[in-house]
Amino acid sequence: MKKHTKIISLFLIAVLLLSVIALPTSAAWNWMTATGAESMDRGLSYTVKRASATITVDGKVSAGEEWQYADDSQVFGLSVVNVDSGHPDAEHLLTPTFKAMWYSDGTDAYLYILMNVNDKGIASVGATAWNGDLFQGGFDENGDGTKELALPAMYLGGRELTEGQVSGISRFTYKTDDRRTSDGTGDGYTVEMQYKFKNAADCSGTVLMDLFVTNYLESIQQYERYSWNGIYDGSHAVTGDLVISADLANPNLAVMTDDAIFYNGETAIASRNKDTEGKITLPLKASERTIAGWMTMETTPKFYAPGAKIDAGSTQIKLKAVFAAPVTSTGASIFIGDGNKLRFEATLPSLTDISSYVTEAGFIFVELAKLTDAILADGVTAEELTAASVEFSAVKAEAIAENIKGVATAKDGDTKYAAISYIKIKYSDNAEIVIYSDFSAENNSRCVSEVAAAAYNDRTSVKTEDYTFKQGKDYGVTNFEIMSYSPYANVQLDVLKKLGKIS
Ligand SMILES: [Ca+2]
Ligand SMILES: [Ca+2]
Ligand SMILES: [Ca+2]
């Protein structure tokens, strides 16, 4: 009851001042007249982005911290003034703001706040260690109207709180970078705070939060309070909305409470919740790219296929995209001694990461003319060709290595063959999938005659390490050919000329 009386008296002073003092027309002056309301809700909202790395609570923006990605909040409004005579003039006007980010280490979830206050001075308000100025506020992490943490007066002396220092505070720490001076010409102060969620799973995406700062002036009786959403003392419910962002267009975001977070490299790109069976369906692609699967980010990782349904477990899991689709190299080789053979090559990226899961590698070969637009649109795979009743051959590579080769047998010199490389993977849940390379007709299909003609015409006018054979012979281009150098000796060029159907 006593407290209630005090609140009313504060309001009377505020209202009285409004009527007698000429106020500067600054947006920061946000006088509240909602007497009787539980708080002076300004209806403000702030979107909290996800940090991809932890934040060090040292009062400052340290190297590697992602504070630059967090927006500034709305400027705090003046919520309470308590002065003996007259109100401080505009030079005392503060315009505090904060930034907020959230982070989860997979076990716990944290809300970080970086509050900037342009309070220049430390007032001498008596023999206190805390120099008057302070901040206060509260956190209602599940938005049910009850604060999971109510902050008592937090002083700026750089104090590091532990559970034993302030009763009931075990999930909150802060550090101050204090740049105030006793002559009132300082550069303000910054407070970096860490709030650890009591039960992040209860948070459906909105945390109610508010902060106020108190600036003491000439005496303990003279102070002004500024708050983000209108709270002006610790007894009130907090009502500012901190919206935990699920904006997946921003690469550093995911929903804190979701059961699985998906990464592309160091960046969180998606998140998902378990279904009614307690399972999580893994995304088919990562950042619009085809993937070989998802690897759990734990000491003994597990590897799963794109689209696999896995048990969610009881704690949030993190999975990293593995890009390991084989890449068929451009072009093909022919054999001088056998005009029916075309050799294609491919590379297997990220093989070292998944070598224990790759059970086979190789190629499928198919006549290019048989690839319909529908097959090309769906992607050329053994399943697709079988379904379309298109004949193809499959050739296993001799060994699984970063570079593999495969030989196609051509029916004649002019039929173009398409080559698609593949790897077969056996995942941690024993599922098996074949992953194919992308196919481009321009790069990955050849016939013997065109390879021979290209090899035949591959000349330089000066001798190099690879072009060592001086022709000394005209095959048709007078005065050039006789001077040119080829990787092939004349006897081989004779064969290439014939295979290449060069007249
Ligand atoms: Ca920091
Ligand atoms: Ca001050
Ligand atoms: Ca609550």
The 10s digit of each residue's pLDDT in 325-345 is 999 999 999 988 888 999 999
Q: Which ligand is nearest to the CA of 180?
A: 2
Q: Which ligand is nearest to the CA of 197?
A: 3
Q: Distance of CA 287 to CAs 51, 266, 267, 291, 298, Å?
A: 18, 13, 10, 10, 22
Q: Look at the chain and count its residues.
A: 503
Say how far apart CA 33 and CA 280 lie, in whole Å.
50
pLDDT greater than 60 at residue 6: no
pLDDT score, position 475: 63
pLDDT greater than 50 at residue 243: yes
Report CA(36)–ligand 2 centroid distance (Å): 29
Q: What digits encode the pLDDT tens for the residues 431-482?
A: 999 999 999 999 999 999 999 999 888 888 888 888 888 877 766 666 666 7
Cα 402 to chain centroid, rounded: 29
Report CA(127)–ligand 1 centroid distance (Å): 31
pLDDT greater than 50 at residue 266: yes
Query: How many other CB atoms are found less than 10 A from the CB of residue 255?
Result: 23
Report CA(62)–ligand 1 centroid distance (Å): 5
Q: Which amino acid is at 31?
A: W
pLDDT score, position 27: 28
Q: What is the mean pLDDT of the chain?
A: 81
Lowest-pLDDT range, 38-47, 217-226, 278-287, 447-456? 217-226
pLDDT score, position 133: 86
Task: State the residue for tokens 């930034």.
Answer: 99
Report CA(120)–ligand 2 centroid distance (Å): 6
Q: Which ligand is nearest to the CA of 147?
A: 3
| Exposed / middle / buried, residue 396 (Cβ in 10 Å: 0-12, 13-18, 19+) | middle
Q: Of 377, 365, 294, 382, whose CA–CA distance to 328 is shortest?
A: 365
pLDDT score, position 131: 55
β-bridge partners, 206 = 243
Q: Which ligand is nearest to the CA of 53?
A: 1
Query: How many other CB atoms are found less than 10 A from the CB of residue 46?
Result: 21
Report CA(363)–ligand 2 centroid distance (Å): 73
Task: State the residue for tokens 């390490």.
Answer: 465
Say how far apart CA 99 and CA 72 lie, in whole Å.
5
pLDDT score, position 287: 78
Q: Which ligand is nearest to the CA of 190?
A: 1
Q: Which ligand is nearest to the CA of 177?
A: 1
